[in-house]
Each structure stands twice: as C-alpha cells, then as structure tokens.
Chain A
Amino acid sequence: MSASDPPRNGAPLQIDVERREHASVVRICGAATMDVSSEIGRRLVEVAVAKPHCIVVDLSALEFIDSNGLGGLVAAYLKQRRQGGSLVLVGPTAAIHDVLDVTRLNQLLSIYPDLSAALAATRGA
C-alpha cells in the first residue's frame, strides 16, 4: 500500500476465470467492497450461463466481502443448481470463513481447503 492510498481499502477486486478439467475456476482476489461487490454476482452468473459442470470459486486471495458479494455467490449457486450443476468454494481466509459461518452460508455452499480437493470432490459428481 502506498502512502497515498486510503487505509484498509484493500487490493482492488480482480476476478479471473480459468477452465480446469470439468470445472470453471473463478479466482476472486482483493477486496469486494460495497462499491464493487456486485461484480461478483455479475461475473459468476456470466460464467454459469455457459452451463459448466461445476464452478469452483477460489477465495484464497479474497480479503473482504460484503453482503452484496455474498448474495452474488448465492445467486450463482442457485443458477447452477437449477441447471443441474454445482458451485463450491475454495480456501477462504479465516475472516471470510467467519462471515460464511455467521451467515450460515457454510451450510448451503460446500467449502474445500484447496483447489485440488475441490476438483477431486466435484469430478463426476
């Protein structure tokens, strides 16, 4: 962080999509703050339109997420389920994991420690 940056803004939100085996891997990095968090739902639903067998959402570099960003995860999960696919989460930090626990989204969304575990668990599922 440079001296001119506002404190605690976090890294800019970045969302990358990669095709891996049977899944589309969506890596969400940085801070999903209130002014940009709707991008999570928009991009995930965009990925779901292609009807991948599974969407694996890699949260290992996600620093912050608000309720709107959580809503994007849920919206994409529901779209995947409606079309017979799945959406799982990978590697949230302790802070993000706590948000998922508090909202009980950990009961709706499967969470895996790393990408290989998620890919193995969803292969053929």
Chain B
Amino acid sequence: MSRSSSIEPDVPLQEMVVESTLSAAKKPEAAILSEVERCGYSEDDIFAIKLSLEEAMTNAVRHGNRCDASKHVTIRYAVTPERTIIIVRDEGPGFCPDRVPDPTAPENIERPSGRGIMLIRAYMTHVEYSATGNEITMVKVNER
C-alpha cells in the first residue's frame, strides 16, 4: 500500500485485535480516546476522532466482516501531541471507496445509509484506503 508522507507513521503503532462485534469495538475506542485526551486535543478534535473511529469500526464489522463474530478487526494506532494515526483492518474482501455514492448528492440525500465514509473524510485530516480496500488509515492533525 502506498502512503503519502503525511500518513506514513513515524512513531511505533500500538495494536489491538478485537472480535468483530460493535460492543467489542468499544475497547480500542476507549484506549485511543484516553490517549487523545491525555495529549490535549480540543473538544472538536476528540469528537472528530471518536466519530471517524466509530464509522470505521462499524464499516469493518458490518460491511467488511459481515457481522461474523468469529472474524476479527485489527486496530493499529499512535497518538502524539501532534497527530493521531488510526488504521482499521477487517477480514473482508474489501471494496472500492470511490464507487460509494456521494450521500450529499440530491439523488442520494434521502437514503438512510451510506454516510459513514463521507463523515470520516470530512472530520479527519487525511484518509486513505489500502489497495485491497479492507484497511483504512485515518490521520487527525492536532491544530492546537
């Protein structure tokens, strides 16, 4: 997977592997947000990271692993005072994010689903998918 220099982690990543359920996905979220708070990110940035992480975990559990609790979601992350890097990988076949319809387009605005990826892109500083489409890398730069 090619990454731009802004996304390439320059600090060691911590790794957590959880079973593919939404309740299990809360554990890495708590760990990451605890670090984010400790590093002094703003309330807006904490909200953005929480929202993006939840959307990425939901996509991994529901769409990637298709709610198969025997599968796993792998989360790697690093939180520094400068930026937060989160990588979420599922065991699914992957997908092409460019083929996901724009949920803000007039013809899609009434769809009940399909807003997760655009929210991640809107709230994080950098977002990138692996070539296989089953891994997302998200970066939030601390603007403080």
Contact = CB atoms under 8 A, between A and B. Distances in A.
Given A8-B30, A34-B25, A95 B112 contact: no
Given A75-B112, A99-B119, 19 more contacts: A8-B46, A9-B30, A33-B54, A34-B22, A35-B23, A35-B26, A66-B55, A66-B116, A66-B119, A67-B55, A71-B112, A71-B113, A71-B115, A102-B123, A103-B104, A105-B109, A107-B109, A108-B109, A108-B110
A69 to B, nearest CB: 10
B58 interface: yes
Contacts, number: 79
Interface residues of B, number: 33
B103 interface: yes
Contacts of B119: 66-67, 99, 102-103
A95 B47 contact: yes
Query: B-side binding surface: helix, strand, loop or mixed?
Result: helix
Nearest to A66: B54
Interface of B: 22-23, 25-26, 29-30, 33-34, 37, 43-44, 46-47, 50-51, 54-55, 57-58, 103-104, 109-116, 118-119, 122-123
Interface residue tally of chain A, by bracket? 20 to 34
